[in-house]
């Protein structure tokens, strides 16, 4: 890898396939907490999705160390043969994106993704796919393309030429399945929950708003049933919030839901978001033209020199 700046900081948002057993979740996350110099900023688990999303920051080499340790723990503690949840997945440590932060570039994140992917395959025997900016082909830039059919389909199809992993054996790990590693820009992971148990309504709305179906640009969407909560959900990734904002998405879903006689119960933000997202939300919802991060008090408190 290229030499890193002394102040280089990246973000990683590993997603692993466990959201119901707190002791397993803590055992996996604690592997990252043991790496000095890495911050565990957020841990969000969802029992319906049966998935946990963790946000890490730190120097690239240390974040890579933390991610490797978490992946090893996930492989030991999660058996994909017994895993069921609403969220698409192909492995125990399902996806590991690297995101540029302080004094880092997308190119560095791509290099890191490929290095970590190679190491996961060689040390843990887990087949690895590269996605996003690190993808080996245009089709594999799309995470949904790699995860089509999920774990169950990949188990049968991994040996096909179009489904061969980028690193590792052409067979799933016996317990951990496969892992996707990549590099991407910051995104907004957002869910909107609907006051109905009718999954058909959520599917119609997801199809209406996602870019691949001719809907909103830079929006990926899928419908899932939240059985424990007695509702359905449109779960989304906003891959470029500057193109389509969370507020635009919420308004569109609300309109579509009302057309089906259904209400929006709530929305959820999964993990962390850039401050620009919140500033833009304030600007739109309050019609506050010109509002900026410079008007956020905490921005100045953080920048104030210590005496």
Residues marked active site are found at 87
Distance of CA 190 to the CA centre of its chain: 10
**In angstroms, rounded to a whole number, what is the distance separating the alpha carbons of residues 147 and 51?**
15
Tokens at 236, concatenated:
């989304």
CA distances from 172 to 16, 91, 151, 157, 254 (A): 16, 9, 9, 10, 41
Per the DSSP assignment, residues forming a β-bridge with 264 are 194
DSSP state for residue 165 in the 8-state scheme: -
Q: How far is the first Cα of the chain from the last one, in angstroms, to the nearest whole number?
A: 39
Tokens at 265, concatenated:
């119960």
How many residues appear in the chain?
A: 307
Report whether 4 contacts 37 (CB < 8 A): no
DSSP state for residue 48 in the 8-state scheme: T
Residue 236 CB partners (closer than 8 Å, separation 6+): 189, 190, 191, 192, 209, 210, 219, 220, 221, 222, 249
Residue 148 CB partners (closer than 8 Å, separation 6+): none
Report whether 96 contacts 65 (CB < 8 A): no
Report whether 144 contacts 220 (CB < 8 A): yes
Report whether 102 contacts 163 (CB < 8 A): no
């Amino acid at each position: 890898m290229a030499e890193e700046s002394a102040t280089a900081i990246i973000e990683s948002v590993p997603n692993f396939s466990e959201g119901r057993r707190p002791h397993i979740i803590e055992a996996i996350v604690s592997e990252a907490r043991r790496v000095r110099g890495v911050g565990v900023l957020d841990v969000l688990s969802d029992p319906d999705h049966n998935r946990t999303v963790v946000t890490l920051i730190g120097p690239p080499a240390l974040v890579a160390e933390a991610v490797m340790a978490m992946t090893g723990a996930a492989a030991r503690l999660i058996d994909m043969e017994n895993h069921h949840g609403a969220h698409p997945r192909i492995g125990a440590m399902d996806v590991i994106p690297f995101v540029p932060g302080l004094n880092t570039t997308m190119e560095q994140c791509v290099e890191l993704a490929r290095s970590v992917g190679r190491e996961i395959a060689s040390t843990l025997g887990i087949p690895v796919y590269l996605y996003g900016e690190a993808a080996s082909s245009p089709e594999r830039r799309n995470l949904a393309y790699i995860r089509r059919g999920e774990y169950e389909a990949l188990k049968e199809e991994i040996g096909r030429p179009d489904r061969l992993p980028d690193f590792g054996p052409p067979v799933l790990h016996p317990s951990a399945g496969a892992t996707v590693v990549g590099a991407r820009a910051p995104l907004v992971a957002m869910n909107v929950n609907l006051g109905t148990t009718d999954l058909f309504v959520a599917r119609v709305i997801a199809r209406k708003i996602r870019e691949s179906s001719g809907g909103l640009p830079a929006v990926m969407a899928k419908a899932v049933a939240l059985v424990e909560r007695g509702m359905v959900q449109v779960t989304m990734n906003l891959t470029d919030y500057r193109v389509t904002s969370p507020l635009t998405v919420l308004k569109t879903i609300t309109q579509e839901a009302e057309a089906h006689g259904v209400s929006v119960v709530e929305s959820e933000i999964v993990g962390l978001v850039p401050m620009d997202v919140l500033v833009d939300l304030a600007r739109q919802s309050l019609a506050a033209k010109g509002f900026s991060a410079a008007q956020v008090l905490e921005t100045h408190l953080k920048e104030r020199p210590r005496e």
